[in-house]
Structure 1
């Protein structure tokens, strides 16, 4: 994907602002391999190759490229180091390994970035496919140094191969650049898969038309990836005049039941985030569902993998710069994984992976700290009468890792109700609210600025299930087992949290708090 939200001229390639490390890890990797990560939403460990070189500092999880093979999820990702010495490349490909998506080991660097004269001086998103006994990793080469782009495309598709998914060898003779009619400055994120309808391998590449600059997912095919020959076809999908997307990044295609799904991410419109389209054929036409979002905009670059039974979508929860509640959204952060479910009408929903939910088995009492307004509390049930006056009930901190579970009933067709986090004695808080009239779940920062949202058609006097899984500053709300909203809330684990109703009568019942044993 393209790297953006650049806040200084010096950050000419990607968003490179450093921030503090929140999570503590078990072990540490001198050679870059086999370190257990004590995190549900992981970032790579610090000093991953040892020594004192600044680049080897802690970092963040960027675009994720999952691949399931032989009972294991090989979760490749772009490593975004906190410190990037001048003159060196960045965003090399690293790996997490997992069998259950709740426990991870960090496997180190898989594909290094190149030299200033190489097309992969920086690396972008790609994908893995197995052909025979060989694995092919198609990835983005990115180099916009002035000397390079004078005579080369800024972005290209490159390839590395492996026999074991660990030792990757770059194929220097392989390089695909934008064909005539497409823009070689933005040409990235190859997604390769075996196309059973064509009996060929397909490659989708995110690019733009030239001239015209319309976002397309360009389609290439190959009968044999070993030949290195890929033939350009017509785009599999072009942005509509209504959406008018600038780029559709990190594409993915998969079949679930009788439907095909096309997933991509977009970061320039009023609905930034991971979107999807659906069709009865891989050749389209691709239909846009009423809610085409996988999550809100703080979950980005979602790509999927299946273990043959369930399918999961892997994205990153954006960090903020500076690292506080009012900071600006920045590139890369913590990995977040949802299980994808298929609704009866073919649309997609999201829920927490079962193995992640199973981690939280120790019950913790929700300790009320204070109440404001008309609140009735009885044995884990809280009735908030907030039609005329705002109502808040706050609880003491639940610590670094916790699952909050409850049922909510909204009694009015207007007004809002939901959760507050990072509350303090000045009355400041981040809130995630259910807005019936707007048909949205919305996250607001402490300045009451909307930062993320996801559509949901509420019904009044209907009981909905809520699960909130939180670790450090990552807060993922799952609503009714079908909708997810990922948030970044700094200070959440050190401060109070609570329930809120404004212009709304709501009931939160069966409130339960659990932590890992």
Structure 2
């Protein structure tokens, strides 16, 4: 218990103020990859892969998802002859015997096995962390020797055992593998809790119970469906099935994992950078940390929305929207546009982003197709972030739009149910307005800034 007391004492120190900071966490200039959140005593500890070198684990902490501690290194990448020459995603648990354990992926591109589960321990979340290579294990013979990564651990009270989920393969199929242990010492391979005939991997799995249902999150690696998706089941062992509208955000948001419970559960992921930080290029690995509020709605679906701690940053009213003044204003500083509107069912509306000398970009919300898309400078393609949502039968919509010009990104939340994250480095040079494709609209709303 000595280590746990130290952790709480350290967290009593003030976190960095956000007065001049971007809307979202931006202390990490190298870029965030695969955030692995851990929630305890009101504090979110996010262990992430730093996008430099061979992806060492770093840590930042927050009480509210708004102000964050300065990042510090937790787990360095290993040496050239060690199985964690590269480090990969994982998870943290509180050790029943005191202190904490971090399980992570050891990756060595020239080794066999290529990927193994590694373990480190610490008396406090802030460290120091000590690697325990003697506990490392590979997936064979039950699972793959090459793809065997992203261990996610939790105590499953329903199964009365520790469970470890992994993104791996079995007999050539993509699976979310399962191991169990009574004491965190001996791990036994179990049949996968989910499998599908896929050529790639179901990455960074996350499993939690809410409202009597179990929810299995993963990030789909396939280019044609690169999104954070979820399945649901009535029991932890499954069977797990997709719900309608299983994707929580578009392709710009990846590696989403949750922490907390009930109304305090947050979904942490990275909003991808573009190569060379050029809007015209494809998405790259790693990006900026983005946090959604995650909850189970009355129908048993998972929904994402704007965290109120993020909304609370915007206290100064800039412009009140009305049917006669649909211009939201300049995006030269962080802003939040919150609006409710009613359109003719089956029509389309959206936000136009006008940049001088360029074809306008737009967020297009197609209520006939039930799909929102971000079109960079008017261009639609397979790379365009998009997300499906249930169209409103009466044409009523609530839209939250957050813009962060310093980071060059935006997020649109639709009916408090789905998010559409997008990268646009030049968004600070744009003026924003609501467009209705020629349809009349009943509108109310407000735009605020910090």
TM-score of the aligned structures, taking structure 1 as reference length: 0.79
- Find the counterpart in structure 1 of residue 133 from structure 2: 172
- Find the counterpart in structure 1 of residue 368 from structure 2: 437
CA contact (8 A) 2:358 2:377 kept: no
Offset at residue 39 of structure 1 (A): 3.4
CA–CA distance in structure 2, aligned partners of residues 291 and 349 of structure 1: 10
1:270 aligned counterpart, secondary structure: helix
CA–CA distance in structure 1, aligned partners of residues 285 and 23 of structure 2: 20
CA–CA distance in structure 1, aligned partners of residues 261 and 449 of structure 2: 27
Please say which structure displays the higher CA radius of gyration: 1
Deviations 1:364-398 (A, max 9, x none): 137xxxxxxxxxxxxx22379xxxxxxxx655413
CA–CA distance in structure 1, aligned partners of residues 233 and 324 of structure 2: 43
CA–CA distance in structure 2, aligned partners of residues 334 and 290 of structure 1: 28
- Find the counterpart in structure 2 of residue 155 from structure 1: 115
- Find the counterpart in structure 2 of residue 512 from structure 1: 446
Alignment partner for residue 474 of structure 1, among 409, 412, 437?
A: 409
CA–CA distance in structure 2, aligned partners of residues 125 and 177 of structure 1: 15
Change (3 A) 1:35 1:514: closer
- Find the counterpart in structure 1 of residue 304 from structure 2: 350
CA contact (8 A) 2:331 2:427 kept: no
2:428 aligned counterpart, secondary structure: helix
- Find the counterpart in structure 2 of residue 497 from structure 1: 432
Q: Which runs of 5+ in 2 are unaligned?
A: 1-13
1:315 aligned counterpart, secondary structure: strand
- Find the counterpart in structure 1 of residue 418 from structure 2: 483
1:277 aligned counterpart, secondary structure: strand
CA contact (8 A) 1:44 1:61 kept: no
* Structure 1 residue 59 corresponds to structure 2 residue 42: no
- Find the counterpart in structure 2 of residue 361 from structure 1: 315
Deviations 1:346-381 (A, max 9, x none): 111111111111111111137xxxxxxxxxxxxx22
2:94 aligned counterpart, secondary structure: strand
* Structure 1 residue 192 corresponds to structure 2 residue 139: no
CA contact (8 A) 2:356 2:430 kept: no
2:269 aligned counterpart, secondary structure: strand
Alignment partner for residue 44 of structure 2, among 51, 62, 73?
A: 73
- Structure 1 stretches of 4+ moved >3 Å: 33-37, 393-396
Alignment partner for residue 329 of structure 1, among 283, 287, 292?
A: 283
Q: Which runs of 5+ in 1 are unaligned?
A: 1-32, 46-57, 85-89, 367-379, 385-392
Offset at residue 401 of structure 1 (A): 1.2
Change (3 A) 1:463 1:508: same
1:86-125 counterparts in 2 under 5 A? 90-125=54-89
- Find the counterpart in structure 2 of residue 138 from structure 1: 103
Change (3 A) 1:501 1:279: same
Deviations 1:178-231 (A, max 9, x none): 121532111100000001122110101111124xx2100111111111x3x211
Alignment partner for residue 332 of structure 2, among 372, 386, 399?
A: 399
- Find the counterpart in structure 2 of residue 454 from structure 1: 387
Deviations 1:63-117 (A, max 9, x none): 0000012221111111003xx4xxxxx1111111100111111231111111111
CA–CA distance in structure 2, aligned partners of residues 34 and 394 of structure 1: 36
* Structure 1 residue 312 corresponds to structure 2 residue 246: no
CA contact (8 A) 2:105 2:150 kept: yes
Change (3 A) 1:135 1:310: same
2:192 aligned counterpart, secondary structure: coil
CA–CA distance in structure 1, aligned partners of residues 237 and 103 of structure 2: 22
CA contact (8 A) 1:362 1:515 kept: yes
1:287-302 counterparts in 2 under 5 A? 287-302=241-256
Offset at residue 327 of structure 1 (A): 1.5
- Find the counterpart in structure 2 of residue 23 from structure 1: none
Deviations 1:316-365 (A, max 9, x none): 10111132332201111111111112122211111111111111111113
Alignment partner for residue 382 of structure 1, among 323, 327, 330?
A: 323
Change (3 A) 1:39 1:449: same
- Find the counterpart in structure 2 of residue 14 from structure 1: none
CA–CA distance in structure 2, aligned partners of residues 344 and 66 of structure 1: 26
- Find the counterpart in structure 1 of residue 181 from structure 2: 222
2:191 aligned counterpart, secondary structure: coil
CA–CA distance in structure 2, aligned partners of residues 39 and 196 of structure 1: 40
